[in-house]
Amino acid sequence: MSDDNDPKDTPKLPAIQSRILGASVEIEQEDPLEIVYQHSLFCQVALPRSRPEGRTFARSYRNGSVKMQAGELWDGRQWIEQPLPAGPKPRLALMHIHSQAIKTRSPYVDLGRSCAEFLDRLGLNTDGGSTYRLFKREMKALAACRLTLGYTESDKIITLNTQPISRFEAWLTNEDSAPVLWPATLRLSQEYFESLQEHAVPLDPRAVGGLAHSAMALDIYSFFARRLHSLQKPVKVTWHQFHAQFGQEFKDWRNFKQRFIPAVRAALALYLSAKVEEVAGGLILKPSMPPVHASSVAVSHGLAAQVRQSLPTPVIKSLRPATIERFRTLYPRLDPYICKDAFDSWLEAKEAPKHYDAAFLGFAKKWVKGKF
């Protein structure tokens, strides 16, 4: 994956077309078993699509504006500046955070095994781990940044300072002889978590995976997902209006339009029920069914509940923090959660150990040598 404004890293067009076509066929044939979520705020206001200069970024929409400020994370010895999140990956990271919080109904999100599972579900974890590492890098940028919202409510003009992620925990590991913060868990602020519960927009993960090469296409798909099903009648949105909302980094709206239209067509190829008509001067948006039907949302959550109820009481399969720390000390270049997955799979045919953590560390000694 790559930022929209970095054409040399963009996958070849046939590969992109093939991925979109495959996802479109799958979407047409069956409903999704899993659903991902985006906060409605980020369906209206886009993150930077390429890394901006400086430490702040602002984008306006309708009668409001969002300002982002890059932050810092403590590595145990000093504050490390984090960049502003930009490109497709922080959008995917936000969707992952939101999806985990919605599904678990908890503001706490485990960033270990769940990140790899999320990328697998989107069909993106196929490059030997580089996407996974870049994904986690953007997770750190998101954890550190601060948002300031300015908007009008009734006759009041409001400025709201917020930080979606109130707590971020990471392990300090070494990569290429340099200390690196490796995300472990985070906690959404209570205010943001409550807002997410009310304003989560369901998205089809196959569409998200199909558009994962383009930040702009992801933004348009998310925008359509929120906007179209809430319309009461058709509305025309001009190119100038789209430029103001999505393309402020383009000085000339004509240059923006050249990039915007292909991204719109890609998004519509994966939002099959969308009713959007291209006309002179802009697009006509018409009332449409959402990309994920309410029944699919219910089925997704219902199936998860049924599976949990049908399973026997499981062996405790959570590692103590001290065990994870011990693993990282012994094997600083390896991910304990990947080893844990292998351990749990191996245990399925074994008798449950009396001491899960001790058994895990014993397994790890052989696992790192490739004996499992």
The predicted pLDDT at position 126 comes to: 58
Residue pair 89/111 in contact (Cβ under 8 Å)? The answer is: no
For residue 181, what pLDDT band results from cuts at 50, 70 and 90?
Answer: low
pLDDT band at 233 (very low <50, low <70, confident <90, very high): very high
Do 204 and 292 form a contact (C-beta atoms < 8 A)? yes
Residue 282 has a pLDDT of 94
Of residues 348 and 244, more confidence is placed in 244
- Residue 225 reports pLDDT greater than 50: yes
* pLDDT at residue 280 tops 50: yes
Are 39 and 96 a contacting pair, CB within 8 Å? no
Is pLDDT of 317 > 70?
no
Between CA 33 and CA 70 the distance in angstroms is 36
State residue 7's pLDDT score.
45
pLDDT score recorded for residue 290: 93
Residue 32 has pLDDT above 60, yes or no: yes
- In angstroms, the CA 209 to CA 270 distance is 10
Contact 293, 243 (CB under 8 A): no
- How does the average pLDDT of the chain come out, rounded? 79
Comparing 191 with 171, the larger pLDDT belongs to 191
Among residues 3, 16, 214, 209, the alpha carbon closest in space to that of 118 is found at 209
Q: Kindly report the CA angle at 25 between 232 and 301, in degrees rounded to 5?
A: 65
- 315 vs 368, more confident: 368
- More confident call, 200 vs 319: 200
Read off the pTM: 0.71
Reply yes or no on whether the pLDDT at 356 is more than 80.
yes
Local confidence band at 308 (pLDDT 50, 70, 90 cut-offs): very low
Q: Report the C-alpha gap between 317 and 284 in whole angstroms.
A: 52
What pLDDT does 125 receive?
Answer: 59
Query: Which residues lie below 8 Å from residue 98, measured CB to CB, with a gap of 6+?
Result: 36, 37, 38, 39, 196, 200
Ramachandran assignment for 292, one of left (phi > 0), alpha (psi -120 to 50 degrees), beta (any other): beta
